Amino acid sequence: DEKLSSAVFLALFATTGLLFIASHLLPWRAVFLTAGWIATCAGHPRAQDWLATLQSQSQDQLQQSQRHAQGLLQSWIASDIALDAPPETRQVEIFELQKHRTGSGGGYDESEWEPWLFSPTPYDPLSPLRISGSRPRGTRFFEDVQPPRGWAWKDKKWTLDLGGREWVEERAITAVEVEVEGERWVYDINYEAAESGSVRGAVGKAKAKARVGTWEEGTGLGRTGQWRRRRWVRVVERRGAGVGVGGGGDAQCKAKAPHSKKTTPVMHRPQRSSASSPTSPRTAPPKVALTALATLDPGTSVPGTGLHDLTLGDVA
């Protein structure tokens, strides 16, 4: 019984520490002298008869006291001795980015969009990367994403986040259209096309009008921008930081616990594996960075990518 052994060890350790502190205060000579005389007198026949009579008279009381003491001990062991605490969990996120094939956006036809990469950031129109003209950073395939060092996957697959509006509002992202039905894409808004009133043909206009009711922002009348993105989440649990747990690579991912500001590094593996994933775009620019967030309670929470250290960010 590991818990009982741990409790006995803890009690002996505390007793030893107490004796080291208070041993000089005890009259050891008188203690040993008294104990010796008691042991000697207990061996006398009359003392034996008296002790046997006393034991028979108080047998029930002794058993009751013993059961009470055992109950207190077991209660203390159960409440204070924890050998196997449940593993800490986190949730992580990745943004799937797709780019319009014409480079200017403006359509909803799935064939017009080219899978690009999985990025740690949504690469929204007003993000620092977009403003500076830099390319998005991330990784090409779901299979290349592995948990941070010291963490292991808890869920078998990535899950599509159906609450696109929530994470858009959390990040205060503007100039986008949020699809509240279907595949939950968040599209850039092409304001130049909207202001000029340009519409890509009667067919495109009819398709856009049919989808007006599925948009949280904008009209959906053919003014989508160059990029669209959607969010995937997955859960990991903490493991010992040993060989085979976590990994390394050249991308990054962020994630955050629901009630914690702690950060955890995330890694990305260059070669693809057979890990299951919902969708895996096969054409994209070079591998770059990933991001992630967590909202699970302890006992359930992060996607990781990249060989560089990343921080657990905040995922809705």
pLDDT of 25 > 50? The answer is: yes
Q: What is the pTM of this model?
A: 0.52
d(CA 310, CA 247): 13
d(CA 175, CA 191): 8
pLDDT of 294 > 90? The answer is: no
Domain parsing of the chain, residue ranges: 2-80
Contact 240, 102 (CB under 8 A): no
DSSP secondary structure letter of residue 215: B
Nearest partner of 148 among 253, 232, 242, 276, judged by Cα: 253
pLDDT of 55 > 80? The answer is: yes
CA distances, 156 to each of 28, 243, 273, 274, 277 (Å): 65, 21, 14, 12, 9
d(CA 186, CA 168): 9
d(CA 256, CA 314): 4
Which H/E stretch holds residue 255? Answer: none
pLDDT of 206 > 80? The answer is: no
Count the neighbouring beta carbons within 10 Å of the beta carbon of residue 63: 10
Question: What is the average pLDDT across 239-262?
Answer: 47
**For residue 14, what pLDDT is reported?**
94
pLDDT of 242 > 70? The answer is: no
Mean pLDDT of the chain: 71
- Of all residues in the chain, the percent with pLDDT exceeding 70 is 63
**For residue 290, what pLDDT is reported?**
39
Residue with tokens 């196997």: 84
